[in-house]
Amino acid sequence: MFTLEVDSGLTLTLVEKTFAAKYLKIVSQQRAYLSQWLVWPLLAHDEVFFEGFIEKSLHDYAIGKSLVCGMIYDGELVGNVSFNTINQSLKKVEIGYWLSAEHQGKGIVSRSVAKLIDLAFTELQMEKVEIFVATENKASRSVCERLGFELEGVITRAEQLNGRTYDHAAYGLSRGGGVKVMRSTR
Q: Is residue 186 part of a domain?
A: no
Successive 10-residue mean pLDDT values, the chain, 186 residues: 90 97 95 91 94 97 97 97 97 97 95 97 97 95 96 95 91 77 46
| CATH code for position 97 | 3.40.630.30
Structural domain count, the chain: 1
Across 3-162, where does the E strand assignment appear?
3-7, 10-14, 67-73, 76-87, 92-99, 128-134, 150-161
Q: What is the pLDDT of residue 48?
A: 96
| DSSP code for 177 | S
- Residue 185 forms part of a structural domain: no
With respect to residue 68, please indicate whether it lies within any of the assigned structural domains: yes
The reported pLDDT for the residue numbered 131 is 98
The domain in which residue 162 lies consists of 3-174
pLDDT at 109: 97
**Whole-prediction pTM:** 0.91
State residue 183's pLDDT score: 47
Q: Does some domain include residue 74?
A: yes
Query: Residue 181: its pLDDT value, please?
Result: 46
| CB contact burial 58-93 (16+ within 10 A = b; e otherwise) | eebbeeebbbbbbbbbeeebbbbbbbbbbeeeeebb
Residue 100 has a pLDDT of 95
Backbone CA torsion sign across 56, 131, 165, 135:
positive
